[in-house]
């Protein structure tokens, strides 16, 4: 078998091909990437989040009385955050998200907003490990009758994977508390309201070129009232508007738009926020008070009422100002500066809509929003949506609409069987390069039972090779979903599983990582020949050759989904490369394996022969010679 490269047949391709799509699904944000350790810190959990949840969820009165935590709303900390706890000398505890994991010697930033209506209250804040051992304890005082933030630093004397946080006021004194928070100092890049370092690091390892956020379905929400309003997710933490999450839990939105922009900046990735096109998720279960205003294809949809659309559109435009506006002259630029970021975030993309049915209600609102954005900000690249991808869906209407409106990019989603990926490697070959380009915003190979393993990972690798070949029309891709907390998973498979102390990347993660770390801006044509293999077997091998300008490296990627090893003769034509020091990375295993990761070594391949393992993905990096 051989791989013949045609150096004279090269084309420019997207330098943003591999990104990430972060959605708060599977406890991806609260209890996940967002490093807050106290669950229901704002006492705003309620039945809209989940049927049996109350404002005291995750909290217990711990004086042995088994009493219910008293909640009040008479003197709220903020109108967006009306509920707070009333402690009448009784201790309370919070068990975090499946317990609070703490490390010996690490520092934790504790804070709460308190008011002492009857005068000073001393209180003790402590972390207690699973065996009842107090691992950290500090005393603080609430002395104001008005809400005031008090802080303490806790430094545990021992590790505890599942501690509880106790707040014990002096006996007989009444104390009101809200926004009870515990954060590790060691967040990603040390940011105060930051991200869990190990999870953020594993995402950074993908070298994503962009981050799409905050959804997915979360972006357009369960009914109009649940649309993710970006303005409710910024500002002081206590003034953010909590929002129920349509995946069945609560969003504090402590990880809000400002933090998403910061995360992009820390990753060196382009932000790609997605806003609802004035219509909620096509699968919304909540009938809207406004539904009589709508004409839709399925008769169930609802959208932002027409009389509210001017404000809705203004909110979209304000987001662009928040991201890019001058801190001195723009109102929303000033708000960003006040949040600690005077420099613009330099946002270049905005997504409008997510996998929506291309209904009349959608088309009307989408058109209004996109026209307003392009008129005021012609340099911002709008990412539209193709609509749901299934046999008989409105899928092609989404493309036609985007084409007629000259939308530069269209987001399409497909979760498919591995065989689909093997058989559709020509999917993008005939996409019209003069029409809107593609953002493959959500995809994954799904096996029955929806597990991911070497088989799904390798079929995704094979398919991505064909996407890379078409990366003159496919500009961006992101696997979905990204994160899933064990025991809190609404969707499978996911790219990275985790619990409170461990991060567990899947084999599919390593495929993403290999593509993200081995991207190029120039695609060089090549042809695989497989000796006497039948055509069906040929479909199970694929290759791609790119040149990466930054590292001055030619990168050859080869997927072999055959159960046999192959010796591959590399014919690079006249490309000048150092064959005596090739960096070869191989990901391989049995199709049903789940626990494999790639291995890298530097080898000489002067004879041009590369051994491909059965069921493998091989990446060869070759330095350009001068």
What is the SS3 assignment for 278? Answer: coil
What is the SS3 assignment for 228? Answer: coil
Q: What is the number of other CB atoms lying within 10 angstroms of the CB of residue 197?
A: 16
The least distance separating ligand AHR from the CB of residue 484, rounded to whole angstroms, comes to 11
| One residue of 389, 491, 516, 603 binding ligand AHR per CB under 6 A | 491
Q: Which is nearer to ligand AHR, 245 or 553 (CB)?
A: 245
- Number of residues near ligand AHR (by CB under 6 A): 12
611 is catalytic: no
Q: How far apart, in Å, are the Cα atoms of 204 and each of 247, 270, 334, 381, 467?
A: 25, 13, 29, 24, 22
Q: What is the helix (H) or strand (E) element at residue 454, kind and residue range?
A: helix 454-469
The least distance separating ligand AHR from the CB of residue 218, rounded to whole angstroms, comes to 6
The least distance separating ligand AHR from the CB of residue 247, rounded to whole angstroms, comes to 8
Site string for ligand AHR, 161-200 (x = CB under 6 A): ----------------------------------------
CB 272 within 8 A of CB 354: no
Interface stretch with ligand AHR, choices 131-139, 210-218, 497-505, 564-572 (CB under 6 A): 210-218
Q: Measuring CA to CA, which residue among 395, 457, 384, 454 is closest to residue 427?
A: 395
CB 238 within 8 A of CB 81: yes
The number of CA neighbours under 13 Å toward the Cβ of 20 is: 28
The least distance separating ligand AHR from the CB of residue 443, rounded to whole angstroms, comes to 10
| One residue of 17, 102, 180, 217 binding ligand AHR per CB under 6 A | 217
The least distance separating ligand AHR from the CB of residue 228, rounded to whole angstroms, comes to 11
The least distance separating ligand AHR from the CB of residue 14, rounded to whole angstroms, comes to 22
Site string for ligand AHR, 17-36 (x = CB under 6 A): ------x-x-----------
Q: Which is nearer to ligand AHR, 31 or 216 (CB)?
A: 216
Our finding on whether 215 is near ligand AHR (CB under 6 A) is: yes
Interface stretch with ligand AHR, choices 64-72, 82-90, 214-222, 304-312 (CB under 6 A): 214-222
Q: Which residues pair with 160 in a beta bridge?
A: 102
Spell 557-579 as b/e; 16+ CB within 10 A means b: bbbbbbeeebebebebeeeebeb
Token code pair at residue 276? 């609802």
Catalytic residue among 44, 355, 412, 460: 355
CB 11 within 8 A of CB 512: no
Site for ligand AHR in 389-418 (CB under 6 A): 413
| One residue of 85, 227, 440, 480 binding ligand AHR per CB under 6 A | 480
Site for ligand AHR in 336-355 (CB under 6 A): 354-355
Q: How many angstroms separate the first and last alpha carbons of the chain? A: 29
Our finding on whether 216 is near ligand AHR (CB under 6 A) is: yes
531 burial via Cβ count (<10 Å: 0-12, 13-18, 19+): exposed
Tell me which residues touch ligand AHR (CB under 6 A).
Answer: 23, 25, 215-217, 354-355, 413, 442, 480-481, 491
The residues annotated with a catalytic role in the active site are: 355
């Amino acid at each position: 078998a051989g791989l013949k490269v045609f150096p004279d047949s090269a084309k420019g391709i997207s330098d943003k091909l591999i990104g990430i799509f972060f959605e708060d699904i599977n406890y991806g944000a609260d209890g996940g990437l967002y490093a807050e350790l106290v669950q229901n810190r704002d006492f705003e959990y309620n039945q809209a989040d989940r049927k049996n949840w109350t404002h005291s969820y995750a909290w217990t009165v711990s004086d042995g009385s088994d009493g219910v935590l008293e909640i009040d709303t008479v003197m709220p900390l903020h109108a967006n955050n009306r509920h707070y706890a009333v402690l009448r000398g009784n201790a309370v505890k919070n068990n975090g998200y499946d317990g609070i994991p703490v490390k010996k010697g690490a520092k934790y930033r504790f804070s709460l907003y308190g008011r002492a209506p009857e005068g000073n209250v001393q209180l003790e804040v402590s972390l207690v490990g699973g065996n009842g051992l107090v691992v950290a304890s500090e005393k603080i005082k609430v002395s104001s009758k008005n809400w005031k933030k008090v802080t303490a630093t806790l430094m545990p004397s021992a590790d505890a994977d599942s501690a509880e946080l106790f707040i014990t006021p002096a006996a007989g004194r009444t104390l009101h508390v809200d926004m009870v928070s515990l954060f590790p100092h060691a967040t990603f890049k040390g940011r105060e309201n930051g991200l869990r370092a190990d999870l953020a690091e594993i995402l950074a390892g993908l070298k994503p070129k962009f981050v799409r956020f905050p959804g997915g379905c979360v972006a357009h929400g369960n009914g109009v009232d649940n649309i993710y309003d970006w303005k409710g997710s910024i500002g002081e933490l206590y003034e953010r508007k909590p929002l129920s999450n349509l995946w069945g839990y609560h969003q504090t939105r402590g990880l809000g738009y400002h933090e998403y922009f910061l995360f992009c900046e820390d990753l060196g990735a382009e932000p790609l926020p997605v806003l609802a096109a004035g219509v909620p998720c096509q699968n919304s279960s909540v009938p809207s008070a406004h539904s009589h205003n709508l004409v839709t294809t399925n008769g169930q949809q609802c959208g932002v009422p027409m009389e509210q659309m001017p404000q809705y559109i203004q909110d979209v435009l304000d987001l662009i100002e928040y991201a890019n506006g001058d801190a001195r002259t723009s109102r929303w630029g000033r708000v960003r500066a006040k949040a600690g970021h005077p420099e613009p975030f330099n946002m270049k993309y905005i997504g409008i809509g997510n996998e929506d049915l291309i209904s009349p209600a959608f088309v009307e609102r989408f058109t209004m929003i996109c026209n307003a954005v392009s008129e005021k900000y012609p340099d911002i690249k709008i990412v539209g949506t193709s609509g749901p991808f299934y046999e008989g869906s409105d899928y092609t209407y989404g493309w036609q609409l985007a084409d007629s409106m000259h939308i530069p990019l269209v987001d399409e989603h497909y979760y498919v069987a591995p065989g689909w990926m093997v058989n559709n490697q020509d999917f993008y070959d005939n996409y019209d390069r003069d029409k809107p380009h593609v953002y493959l915003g959500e995809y994954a190979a799904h096996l029955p039972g929806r597990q991911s393993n070497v088989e799904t990972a390798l079929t995704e690798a094979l398919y991505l090779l064909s996407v890379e070949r078409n990366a003159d029309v496919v500009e961006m891709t992101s696997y979905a979903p990204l994160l899933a907390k064990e025991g809190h998973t609404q969707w499978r498979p996911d790219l990275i599983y985790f619990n409170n102390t461990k991060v567990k990347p899947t084999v599919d993660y390593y495929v993403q990582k290999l593509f993200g770390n081995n991207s190029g801006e120039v695609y060089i044509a090549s042809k695989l020949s497989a000796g006497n293999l039948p055509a069906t077997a040929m479909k199970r091998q694929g290759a791609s050759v790119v040149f990466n300008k930054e590292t001055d490296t030619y990168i050859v990627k080869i997927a072999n989904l055959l159960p046999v090893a192959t010796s591959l003769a590399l014919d690079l034509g006249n490309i000048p490369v150092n064959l005596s020091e090739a960096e070869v990375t191989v990901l391989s295993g049995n199709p049903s394996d789940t626990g494999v990761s790639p291995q890298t070594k530097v080898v000489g391949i002067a004879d041009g022969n590369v051994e491909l393992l059965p069921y493998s993905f091989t990446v060869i990096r070759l330095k350009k010679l001068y």
